[in-house]
């Protein structure tokens, strides 16, 4: 049931400021129904976007999004909020370009300022082989209409004056792939925007609702799960819910959730660590990524530097973080910007990344009828949130895998048709 | 001047005056002053402007956590002037002000304050569309808080690291911590005692005479105990897995900051308590301070905090503050006792408090409000150790719940008590800590294979039977009205939190993210519990059920400089690199190594190899010595071909793939003896291959008999290539028959080169010429190199660099992993079909390899020549389908060949255009499209191999 949307605007701010009137809730808290048409597990960007597009594009509104914690508490709230579309393979470019388009329109579509800052994205090359790869990516991007080019150190200096581009550093900057449309976005706002919009369209958002089991019948396993079976609902800490369609939009625990339906995923889970500094007056206008130094950095509008790295080498579900990460990070950041030695690291944290063998996600139908997955997003799930939601919604609504995600099917791991974005992914931010 | 006459226990040295400037004006302080105490003594009230509303802010806690005291000191931003010791001749200035601290135009924000409540930016700035990036965002960025980086004056600070292994590390040098340190040390444990402030003593430092005398005797005991090392002005910033503890040490004689990394037996957490602010209207106006701040100012630095005070007290420490204020000559206008239900409602005043409104409706004139509203337990380190503290409503604070065996807590964080009970608890804690640490030490010393005394008895475990400290009752004083600031650094008000809860952000984590409360420099140490209390009130839930946000490392911010330390990433140089540079070699930075790119003319160097003989330093080639009975099993596992049949004296080429079937490395490996092999890898892959081998041996097949020794730097590698290479080596090698018959292609011998014994010589080629690769013990490398040049004078011997080698290998059509292959390239693409043995039982990537041979869509690596021989397409140039933009491949390597005098390429192309003589279209960087032809095989030159097989 569609409710009248309370529109945000400068005028509304003025009105509320003058009257001290209460703002309405961004989303409601609903009773858990005993059945839904679609249950989405995971209240992050992927789950909420899927719910929103199901309602918005396909009129399917009897949908529940379940999260064991709070909305956006997983990868959606832990990533470093970088978006870009300068990928290497045509499939990758098409997919992420659509995501970037949706991000571009999001503030208007969702009537919430997600603060998309198209500040430009630099991927630095410190070796001639890295530079060669940059040229390759730039050439592919140009042919696909993506704004992406290789620039030399003096141009790098213009885009990011705080970088040390001199030749006498340990890892001199030989050039960079420059992608002007890339940037950063307020990741929490994306979560809240989708949550608010989905809620307005009638979707139920259930926080603190943990899925304990997925209920199936007819499958190969003795409990009715596994290939050939059919989903009938989920069991949660708040009771059983029946539904013909259950979608796994989790990260960090996606293989455990899928196991509940008897579906094995070729996923190992690794932590990815990040950190933020105290604020300083802004000096870094672009996003800077260095694959060789395993670091990416951007400065928020509040003046903090946000850093990320590549995933930890050893798989674990622990997200305590390590001291070594901060040491290595600081060393590499100071390689790039020796001037900031006196800035202080304020906080470190980690998120969980579900890695697949080909660094590409697993999306769409599975061997269990009614059980769909949107998982295995590795280190780049946030970038793909909107387009994943859109294509998953289409897949659910039409019963046919959306074209953009056909290559991400789960069967590829048994037929050997892996997707190749790994070449460009190294530190894929 | 507000400096008091000498106080009994002041820590300033009045005989040493320190001059400095504050916002351009000269000031003086004493040695022992903090920056803030020196300024306060000089009558400064306003230290900063707040982030959002640019409200004036002054001293609130007078310690590290003070939200209003961040200043710029010289080039250093965000210095905590509440804890940073004053240094002479420093330039101190306020941050985040324009045009000046006193007259800040940002206060205009105050006028619009009611319109910029929490999350306001999410609700506006959406129109017109392009305005967000071009206008609004730029304005917001101007308001970013914090200090300035001075790019024009590069930092000369030095930073360092230190590793320590204390049995017991005590975090906190108050009475409990000191007692714990002493008793642990007396049990025989080595103890590191870390105190955040500049002196030991904790709250005793600003206590009464008997407290001071107790403190002094504890300090004396510590100083005379040789098992205890004390670090002051140092902070325990993190506790990681296996009691890996980070300590940030300031005031070190050499380093500006030093990261001390401690592997600790038992961690004793004794940080005391952090005093909590109280929420009421005007609670951020300069002149409103916590009781600890007033007591510190008076007793430590002899600063009179105001003239006429209203004191709000809920505890004995607040009562003590009254005595201190009176002693300092501050008039006590009113005592507001929370235990009697009295409350402060509001403070009024512009740049300093002028009057205070009380809950009984009276208004009292005062320039100072001293607040003692309660305590927050700094449980960060305990959280990092897995504890989830629980709220005790009666005591109005959190307490630890469940700690791992190697972490103990003592002091104010676990309860209350007088000096004696606190010290007794600390002492008992130290004893248990020592016992657990010594047991661990014993276990480590006796259970290792090299233990000297494996049979010494283990210490008896002491059970934890400590008397717990009492939890004194304390009124729950969080807020008096629904106005005032909850988070001072983030400018978040009570009403912002209420609004957030109303809008649906009704869990502490969501509220934090929406309002940014607790996200500032103190990371919630002052704010978290108050924020939770406001949330609890606004949604009608008990505070105990709200929980807190998660404390993460670091406990206090650490400079990036200290985390980085001295950066140890040297550039690797072969034993010959000096020679190369002396002889005009252009340096090429290649990964870890610096190499000779060329000696002036790469084409001439290449031609000399084709015509005479050249020598090249290829030391960065990864080299790994493998010994043991099971080496061939390991090689079978990591390479795609088979190795068991390789006979002694032969070498074989191998390719490695990842689990995804993608080519990851290649190289030749030779069998020197029955159980002794030498493996080579690509230069950039040397480390990764070593790790892969170790990983396999340690994690998958740890019963295999293989010893791995990386010898990349130990052996200097020289390739001798060209038609005269055999003649040249024959002059220098006497104990190996170099003739083609007894030393054929793909063989290995050990022998003496230029009188250097134990050299490995293998006959392989990357250049397409007859060539030998020498692996020389590095100490003799220069001798061998110079001997080759001397002996080869009449044979035309000359050095060649990396560029000439790249030309030569491209002429011959040898691909380079990582250049002609990429993150997607599988074996069939590069034509390695005979090298992949799919009938092996197992090897890395087997299933994907098998699949790849049934995939007819894989690109194919081919040799390509442009139809115009003078056009050299750029590497990465795209190969297109005619005039369309459909990508059919790309050029992976390209050069002008000096031998063939034409352009040559390797390219990955779609299978449809991979047949010999296929015509293809290459898009140049200029935008021009040129035509080219696919060759048969990879070689542009000598495809039959007639030059190397001689």
Of A107, A343, A426, the CB nearest to B560: A343
* Angstrom distance (rounded) from CA B893 to CA B808: 12
Supply the mean pLDDT for chain B.
Answer: 93
Does some domain include residue B290? no
Global pTM? 0.91
Both B163 and B135 in a single domain? no
Does some domain include residue B210? yes
Residues of chain B with Cβ-Cβ distance to A170 below 8 Å are 567, 569, 571
Element (H, E) at B789: helix B781-791
Residues of chain B with Cβ-Cβ distance to A28 below 8 Å are 504
Both B682 and B785 in a single domain? yes
B522 pLDDT exceeds 80? yes
Both B680 and B788 in a single domain? yes
Smallest CA-to-CA distance from B95 within A278, A347, A333, A299 is with A278
Residues of chain B with Cβ-Cβ distance to A10 below 8 Å are 124-125
Does some domain include residue B573? no
Q: Is residue A159 within 8 Å of B897, Cβ to Cβ?
A: no
pLDDT of residue B726: 97
pLDDT of residue A361: 92
pLDDT of residue A426: 36
Q: Is residue B634 within 8 Å of B843, Cβ to Cβ?
A: no
How sure is the predictor about A90, in pLDDT bands with cuts at 50, 70 and 90? confident
pLDDT of residue B154: 65
Q: Does A347 touch chain B (CB under 8 A)?
A: yes
Q: What are phi and psi of A192, to 5 degrees?
A: -70, -35
Q: What share of chain B is helix, strand, coil (3-state, %, to 5)?
A: 25, 30, 45
- Range with lowest mean pLDDT among A19-28, A367-376, A379-388, B502-511: A19-28
Residues of chain A with Cβ-Cβ distance to B246 below 8 Å are 323
The structural domains of chain A, ordered by start, are 30-85+87-111+187-266+358-425 (3.50.50.60), 121-180+268-355 (3.30.9.10)
How sure is the predictor about B145, in pLDDT bands with cuts at 50, 70 and 90? confident
Q: Is residue B211 within 8 Å of B525, Cβ to Cβ?
A: no
Q: Does A157 touch chain B (CB under 8 A)?
A: no
Does some domain include residue B832? no
Please indicate whether, in this complex, the C-beta atoms of A349 and B552 are within 8 angstroms of each other.
Answer: yes
pLDDT of residue B602: 97
- For residue B628, the distance in angstroms to the closest alpha carbon of chain A comes to 28
Q: Is residue B421 within 8 Å of B465, Cβ to Cβ?
A: no
A330 pLDDT exceeds 90? yes
Does some domain include residue B92? yes
pLDDT of residue B1: 60
* Angstrom distance (rounded) from CA B6 to CA B13: 10
Of A139, A327, A415, the CB nearest to B876: A139
A-interface mutation test, from B144, B240, B381, B565, most A Cβ less than 10 A away: B144
Both B423 and B512 in a single domain? no
How sure is the predictor about A291, in pLDDT bands with cuts at 50, 70 and 90? confident
Q: Does A212 touch chain B (CB under 8 A)?
A: no
Q: Does A331 touch chain B (CB under 8 A)?
A: yes
Smallest CA-to-CA distance from B653 within B662, B666, B644 is with B666
Q: Which two tokens stand for residue B461?
A: 């475990």
CATH at residue B212: 3.50.50.60
Q: What are phi and psi of B215, to 5 degrees?
A: -60, -45
How sure is the predictor about A129, in pLDDT bands with cuts at 50, 70 and 90? confident
Please indicate whether, in this complex, the C-beta atoms of A10 and B660 are within 8 angstroms of each other.
Answer: no
Query: What is the distance of C-alpha B150 from the center of its chain?
Result: 23
* Angstrom distance (rounded) from CA B724 to CA B221: 80
Query: What is the distance of C-alpha B53 from the center of its chain?
Result: 34
Tell me which residue has tokens 């932590």: A271
Both B436 and B500 in a single domain? no
Q: Are strands B368-372 and B288-290 parallel, antiparallel or unpaired?
A: parallel
Query: What is the distance of C-alpha A241 from the center of its chain?
Result: 27
Compare A92 and B61 and report the one with higher pLDDT.
Answer: B61
Both B870 and B943 in a single domain? yes
- Range with lowest mean pLDDT among A144-148, B476-480, B903-907: A144-148
A20 pLDDT exceeds 80? no
Comparing alpha-carbon positions, the chain A residue that sits nearest to B568 is A331
Sign of the alpha-carbon torsion through B196, B201, B202, B207? negative
CATH at residue B748: 3.30.1360.120
- pLDDT, tens digit (0-9, with 9 covering 90-100), for B170-200: 999 999 999 999 999 999 999 999 999 999 9
Does some domain include residue B453? no
Domain boundary residue, one of B394, B424, B447: B447
* Angstrom distance (rounded) from CA A77 to CA A349: 11
pLDDT of residue B746: 95
Domain boundary residue, one of B82, B114, B142: B142
Does some domain include residue B923? yes
Of B141, B155, B661, the CB nearest to A282: B141
How sure is the predictor about B111, in pLDDT bands with cuts at 50, 70 and 90? low
B129 pLDDT exceeds 70? no
B-interface mutation test, from A77, A119, A279, most B Cβ less than 10 A away: A279
- For residue B553, the distance in angstroms to the closest alpha carbon of chain A comes to 6
Both B760 and B696 in a single domain? yes
Of A129, A420, A426, the CB nearest to B819: A129
Q: What is the DSSP-derived secondary structure letter of residue A293? A: T
Please indicate whether, in this complex, the C-beta atoms of B151 and A186 are within 8 angstroms of each other.
Answer: no
Residues 6 or more apart whose Cβ sits within 8 Å of residue B717: B617, B618, B619, B621, B623, B773, B774, B775, B776
Q: Which two tokens stand for residue B891?
A: 């050029």
- pLDDT, tens digit (0-9, with 9 covering 90-100), for B608-665: 999 999 999 999 999 999 999 999 999 999 999 999 999 999 999 999 998 888 999 9
Please indicate whether, in this complex, the C-beta atoms of A17 and B117 are within 8 angstroms of each other.
Answer: yes
- For residue B843, the distance in angstroms to the closest alpha carbon of chain A comes to 16
Give the percent of chain A with pLDDT over 70.
97
Q: Which two tokens stand for residue B82?
A: 């509440």
* Angstrom distance (rounded) from CA A87 to CA A423: 10
Q: Does A315 touch chain B (CB under 8 A)?
A: no
Q: What's the rounded mean pLDDT across residues A61-71?
A: 97
Residues of chain A with Cβ-Cβ distance to B148 below 8 Å are 280-281
Query: What is the distance of C-alpha B870 from the center of its chain?
Result: 49
Of B137, B563, B819, the CB nearest to A327: B563
Both B200 and B109 in a single domain? no
- For residue A30, the distance in angstroms to the closest alpha carbon of chain B comes to 12
Please indicate whether, in this complex, the C-beta atoms of A129 and B513 are within 8 angstroms of each other.
Answer: no
Q: Are strands A38-41 and A63-66 parallel, antiparallel or unpaired?
A: parallel
Q: What's the rounded mean pLDDT across residues A421-425?
A: 45
Of B144, B155, B885, the CB nearest to A281: B144
- For residue A208, the distance in angstroms to the closest alpha carbon of chain B comes to 10
Both B503 and B391 in a single domain? no
Residues of chain A with Cβ-Cβ distance to B263 below 8 Å are none
Both B165 and B136 in a single domain? no
Both B855 and B950 in a single domain? yes
Compare B572 and B137 and report the one with higher pLDDT.
Answer: B572
3-state SS class at B566: coil
Q: What does the angle CA B251 – CA B252 – CA B257 come to, to the nearest 5 degrees? A: 80
Comparing alpha-carbon positions, the chain B residue that sits nearest to A331 is B564
Does some domain include residue B300? no
A vs B, Cβ pairs < 8 A, gives 286
Order the strands of the A268-277 sheet from edge to edge: A149-151, A175-179, A121-125, A287-290, A295-299, A305-311, A268-277, A344-355, B558-559
A423 pLDDT exceeds 60? no
Residues 375 to 414 of A: which have CB under 8 A from any B CB? none
Question: Other CB atoms closer than 10 Å to residue A362's CB: what's the count?
Answer: 29
Element (H, E) at B530: helix B528-539
Both B697 and B742 in a single domain? yes
Sign of the alpha-carbon torsion through A8, A12, A17, A22? negative
Residues of chain A with Cβ-Cβ distance to B77 below 8 Å are 278, 280, 342-343
B851 pLDDT exceeds 80? yes
Q: Domain of B136?
A: 13-142
Smallest CA-to-CA distance from B906 within B829, B841, B826 is with B829
- C-alpha distance from residue B31 to each of A29, B294, B301, B484 (Å): 59, 20, 10, 36
- pLDDT, tens digit (0-9, with 9 covering 90-100), for B237-294: 999 999 999 999 998 888 889 999 999 999 999 999 999 999 999 999 999 999 999 9
Number of domains into which chain B is organized: 5
Residues of chain A with Cβ-Cβ distance to B261 below 8 Å are 323
Q: Is residue B207 within 8 Å of B317, Cβ to Cβ?
A: no
Please indicate whether, in this complex, the C-beta atoms of B77 and A283 are within 8 angstroms of each other.
Answer: no
Secondary structure of B289-331 in the HEC alphabet? EEHHHHHHHHHHHCECCCCEEEEEECCHHHHHHHHHHHHCCCE
CATH at residue B530: 1.10.10.1100
Smallest CA-to-CA distance from B202 within B224, B177, B227 is with B177
pLDDT of residue B106: 65
pLDDT of residue A422: 47
- For residue A348, the distance in angstroms to the closest alpha carbon of chain B comes to 6
Q: Does A424 touch chain B (CB under 8 A)?
A: yes
pLDDT of residue B141: 77
* Angstrom distance (rounded) from CA B166 to CA B190: 5
Domain boundary residue, one of B424, B447, B470: B447
């Amino acid at each position: 049931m569609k409710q009248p949307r309370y529109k945000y605007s400068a005028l509304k701010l003025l009105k509320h400021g003058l009257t001290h009137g209460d703002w309405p809730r961004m989303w409601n808290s609903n009773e858990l129904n005993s059945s839904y048409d679609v249950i989405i597990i995971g209240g992050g960007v992927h789950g909420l976007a899927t719910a929103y597009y199901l309602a918005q594009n396909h009129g399917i509104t009897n949908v529940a999004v379940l999260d064991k914690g709070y909305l956006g508490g997983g990868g959606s709230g832990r990533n470093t909020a970088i978006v870009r579309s300068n990928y290497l393979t045509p499939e990758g470019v098409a997919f992420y370009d659509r995501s970037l388009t949706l991000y571009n329109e999001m503030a208007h579509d969702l009537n919430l300022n997600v603060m998309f800052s198209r500040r430009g994205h630099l991927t630095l090359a410190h070796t001639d082989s890295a530079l060669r790869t940059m040229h390759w990516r730039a050439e592919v991007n140009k042919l696909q209409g993506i704004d992406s080019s290789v620039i030399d150190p003096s141009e790098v200096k213009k885009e990011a004056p705080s970088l040390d581009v001199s030749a006498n550093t340990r890892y001199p900057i030989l050039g960079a792939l420059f992608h002007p449309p890339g940037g950063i976005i307020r990741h929490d706002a994306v979560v809240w925007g989708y949550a608010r919009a989905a809620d307005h369209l009638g979707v139920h958002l259930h926080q603190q609702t943990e899925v304990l089991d997925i209920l199936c019948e007819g499958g190969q396993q003795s409990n009715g799960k596994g290939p050939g079976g059919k989903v009938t609902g989920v069991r949660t800490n708040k009771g059983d819910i029946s539904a013909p369609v259950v979608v796994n939009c989790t990260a960090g625990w996606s293989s455990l959730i899928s196991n509940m339906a008897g579906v094995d995923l070729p996923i190992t889970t690794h932590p990815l660590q990040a950190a933020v500094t105290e604020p300083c007056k802004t000096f870094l206008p672009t996003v800077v990524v260095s694959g060789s130094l395993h670091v990416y950095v951007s400065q928020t509008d509040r003046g903090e530097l946000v850093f990320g790295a590549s995933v930890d080498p050893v798989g674990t579900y622990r997200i305590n973080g390590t001291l070594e990460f901060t040491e290595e990070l600081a060393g590499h950041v100071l390689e790039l910007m020796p001037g900031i030695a006196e800035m202080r690291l304020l906080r470190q944290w980690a998120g969980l990344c579900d890695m697949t063998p080909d660094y590409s996600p697993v999306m769409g139908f599975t061997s269990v009828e009614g059980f769909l997955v949107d998982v295995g997003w590795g280190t780049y799930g946030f970038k793909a949130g909107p387009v994943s939601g859109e294509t998953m919604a289409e897949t659910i609504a039409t019963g046919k895998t959306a074209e953009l995600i056909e290559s991400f099917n789960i069967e590829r791991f048994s037929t050997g048709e892996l997707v190749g974005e790994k070449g460009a992914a190294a530190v894929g931010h | 001047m507000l400096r008091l006459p000498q106080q009994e226990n002041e820590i300033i040295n009045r005989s040493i005056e320190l001059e400095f400037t504050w916002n351009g004006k000269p000031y003086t302080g004493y040695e022992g002053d903090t920056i803030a105490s020196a300024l306060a003594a000089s009558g400064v009230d306003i230290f900063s402007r707040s982030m959002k509303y640019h409200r004036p802010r002054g001293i609130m806690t007078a310690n590290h956590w003070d939200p209003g005291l961040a200043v710029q000191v010289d080039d250093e931003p965000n210095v905590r002037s509440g804890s940073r010791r004053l240094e002479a001749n420093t330039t101190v200035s306020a941050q985040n002000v324009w045009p000046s601290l006193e007259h800040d135009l940002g206060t205009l924000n105050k006028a619009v304050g009611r319109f910029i409540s929490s999350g306001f930016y999410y609700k506006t700035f959406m129109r017109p569309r392009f305005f967000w990036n071009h206008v609004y965002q730029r304005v917001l960025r101007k308001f970013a808080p914090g200090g300035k980086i001075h790019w024009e004056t590069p930092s000369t600070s030095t930073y360092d690291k230190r590793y320590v292994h204390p049995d017991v590390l005590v975090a906190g040098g108050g009475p409990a911590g000191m007692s714990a340190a002493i008793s642990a040390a007396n049990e025989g444990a080595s103890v590191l005692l870390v105190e955040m402030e500049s002196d030991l003593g904790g709250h005793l430092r600003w206590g009464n005479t008997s407290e001071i005398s107790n403190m002094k005797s504890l300090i004396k005991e510590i100083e005379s105990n040789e098992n205890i090392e004390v670090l002051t002005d140092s902070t325990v910033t993190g506790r990681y897995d296996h009691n890996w503890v980070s300590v940030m040490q300031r005031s070190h004689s050499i380093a500006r900051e030093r990261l001390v990394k401690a592997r600790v037996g038992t961690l004793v957490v004794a940080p005391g308590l952090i005093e909590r602010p109280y929420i009421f209207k005007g609670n951020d106006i300069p002149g409103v301070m916590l009781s600890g701040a007033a007591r510190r100012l008076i007793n430590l630095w002899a600063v009179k905090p105001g003239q006429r005070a209203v004191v709000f007290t809920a505890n004995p420490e607040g009562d003590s503050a009254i005595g201190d204020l009176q002693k300092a000559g501050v008039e006590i206008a009113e005592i507001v006792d929370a235990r009697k239900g009295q409350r402060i409602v509001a403070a009024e005043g512009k740049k300093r408090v002028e009057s205070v409104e009380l809950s009984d409706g009276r208004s009292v004139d005062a320039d100072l409000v001293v607040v003692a509203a309660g305590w927050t337990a700094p449980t960060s380190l305990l959280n990092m150790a897995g504890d989830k503290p629980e709220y005790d409503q009666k005591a109005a604070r959190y307490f630890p719940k469940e700690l791992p065996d190697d972490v103990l807590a003592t002091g104010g964080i676990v309860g209350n008590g007088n000096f004696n009970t606190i010290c007794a608890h600390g002492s008992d804690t130290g004893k248990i800590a020592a016992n657990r640490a010594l047991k661990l030490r014993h276990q480590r010393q006796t259970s290792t294979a090299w233990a000297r005394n494996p049979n010494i008895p283990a210490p008896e475990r002491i059970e934890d039977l400590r008397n717990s400290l009492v939890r004194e009752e304390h009124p729950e004083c969080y807020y008096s009205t629904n106005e005032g600031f909850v988070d001072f650094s983030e400018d978040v008000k009570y009403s912002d939190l209420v609004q957030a809860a109303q809008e649906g952000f009704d869990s502490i984590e969501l509220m934090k993210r929406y309002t940014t409360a607790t996200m500032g420099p103190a990371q919630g140490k002052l704010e978290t519990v108050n924020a939770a209390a406001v949330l609890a009130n606004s949604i009608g839930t008990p505070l105990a059920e709200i929980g807190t946000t998660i404390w993460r490392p670091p406990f206090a911010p650490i400079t990036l400089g200290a985390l980085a330390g001295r950066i140890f990433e040297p550039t690797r140089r072969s034993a010959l690199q000096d020679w190369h540079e002396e002889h005009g070699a252009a340096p090429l930075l290649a990964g870890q190594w610096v190499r000779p790119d060329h000696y002036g003319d790469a084409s001439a160097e290449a031609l000399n190899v084709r015509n005479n003989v050249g020598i090249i330093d290829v030391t960065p080639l990864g080299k790994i010595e493998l010994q043991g009975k099971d080496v061939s099993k390991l090689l079978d596992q990591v390479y795609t071909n088979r190795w068991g049949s390789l006979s002694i004296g032969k070498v074989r080429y191998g390719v490695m793939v990842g689990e995804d079937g993608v080519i990851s490395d290649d190289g030749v490996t030779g069998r020197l003896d029955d159980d002794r092999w030498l493996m080579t890898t690509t230069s950039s892959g040397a480390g990764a291959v070593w790790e892969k081998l170790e990983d396999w041996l340690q994690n998958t097949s740890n019963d295999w008999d293989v010893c791995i020794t990386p010898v990349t730097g130990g052996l200097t590698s020289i390739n001798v290539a060209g038609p005269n290479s055999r003649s040249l080596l024959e002059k220098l090698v006497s104990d190996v028959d170099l003739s083609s018959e007894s030393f054929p292609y793909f063989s290995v011998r050990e022998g003496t080169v230029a009188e250097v014994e134990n050299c490995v010589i293998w006959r392989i080629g990357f250049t397409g010429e007859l060539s030998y690769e020498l692996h020389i013990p590095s100490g003799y490398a220069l001798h061998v190199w110079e001997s080759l040049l001397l002996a080869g004078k009449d044979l035309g011997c000359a050095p060649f660099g990396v560029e000439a080698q790249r030309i030569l290998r491209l002429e011959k059509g040898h691909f380079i992993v990582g250049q002609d292959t990429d993150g997607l390239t599988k074996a069939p693409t590069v034509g390695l079909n005979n090298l992949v043995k799919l009938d092996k039982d197992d090897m890395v990537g087997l299933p994907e390899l098998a699949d790849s041979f049934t995939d007819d869509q894989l690109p194919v690596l081919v040799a390509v020549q442009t139809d115009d021989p003078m056009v050299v397409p750029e590497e990465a140039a795209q190969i297109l389908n005619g005039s369309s933009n459909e990508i059919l491949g790309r050029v992976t390597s390209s050069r002008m060949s000096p031998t063939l005098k034409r352009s040559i390429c390797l390219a990955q192309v779609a299978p449809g255009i991979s047949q010999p003589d296929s015509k293809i279209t290459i898009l140049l960087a200029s935008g021009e499209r040129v035509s080219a032809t696919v060759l048969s095989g990879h070689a542009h030159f000598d495809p039959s191999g007639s030059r190397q097989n001689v």
